[in-house]
Amino acid sequence: MATIFKSWFEQGIVMSFWFLVSVVGLSVVVPIHFLSVEHSRLDARFGEQRGYKIGAALGMISGWGFFLFLIGVWVSPQERFLFNIWGTSEMYFVLALGYLSLIIPILHLLLSLVFLIPGAYLGIRGVTAMGLKTAETHRAEMVISTGVYSRVRNPQYLGAILSHIGASFLFSAYYSLIVTPLVIIINYILCWKEEQELLQEFGEEYQKYREKVPMLIPVIRR
């Protein structure tokens, strides 16, 4: 009995460790992202050319770090949950990935698609509208108010939130689903910081845009 208890305890420590590493990583990304969008401060301290490079490097680190740590939250070893409605817990979809296979409850798969499809759409459309360079460096050259940006000011961050919820269902990741409020708060903070910098850079033009288009809850109809 003592051996079994020790095994469960050690397994729980390992599960919690990798999950906590991912959550802490998401939090660490926030101040790095803050620095990456403070363009005027970086330019004043290091010069325009060097400040641009430093901001771009910090933007790359924070952007890819956020993406990788978010995936870590989804796939790190953790408790699994199962929704059971009308016997759907007995229906599974098997996804084979080489030597790995993922067994997904059908209900979880359907719920995940409800969030993953619009999340992916918003993320892709957001990047294509502003350009990959701007998305990576966080240095906008103009205020974009057309396409998906006419519906919501921060489509990529909204897409990240929706994708997080969808991935939590897809992997039946209990801890991941529980920290959804934290993921929403982090994305909101990043949006707020970016918009403060955009107000400084574009002034009245961005203020008028901000008054017309919501931050994270998209406008469905005009």
Q: How far apart are CA 73 and CA 167, in angstroms?
A: 10
Virtual torsion, Cα 85, 88, 89, 92, nearest 10 deg: -150
What letter does residue 179 receive in the DSSP assignment?
Answer: T
The structure tokens listed for 31 are: 């101040």
Question: DSSP string of 84-98?
Answer: -STTGGG-EEEEEET
- pTM above threshold 0.95: no
The dihedrals phi and psi of 200, each to the nearest 5 degrees, come to -70, -40
Higher-confidence position of 222 and 136: 136
Map residue 104 onto helix, strand or coil.
strand
Whether the predicted pLDDT of 7 surpasses 50: no
Q: How far apart are CA 136 and CA 65, in angstroms?
A: 12
How buried is residue 61: exposed, middle or buried, by Cβ count under 10 Å (0-12/13-18/19+)? middle
Q: How far apart are CA 112 and CA 166, in angstroms?
A: 4
H or E element at residue 103? strand 100-105
At 49-101, the pLDDT tens digits run 999 999 999 999 999 999 999 999 999 999 988 877 665 555 666 655 555 56
What pLDDT was estimated at residue 160? 96
Whether the predicted pLDDT of 10 surpasses 80: no
In this prediction, residue 2 has a pLDDT band, given cuts at 50, 70 and 90, of very low
In this prediction, residue 9 has a pLDDT band, given cuts at 50, 70 and 90, of very low
Sign of the CA dihedral with 82 first, then 84, 89, and 94 last: negative
Considering only CA atoms, give the Rg of the chain. Answer: 20
At 183-217, the pLDDT tens digits run 999 999 999 999 999 999 999 999 999 999 999 99
H or E element at residue 102? strand 100-105
Give me the domains of the chain, ranges plus CATH numbers.
2-212 (1.20.120)
Whether the predicted pLDDT of 3 surpasses 50: no
What pLDDT was estimated at residue 98? 56
Whether the predicted pLDDT of 35 surpasses 50: yes
Q: How far apart are CA 60 and CA 134, in angstroms?
A: 11
The structure tokens listed for 170 are: 């897809």
What pLDDT was estimated at residue 125? 94
Task: Provide the mean pLDDT of the chain.
Answer: 86
H or E element at residue 155? helix 155-170
At 143-154, the pLDDT tens digits run 999 999 999 999
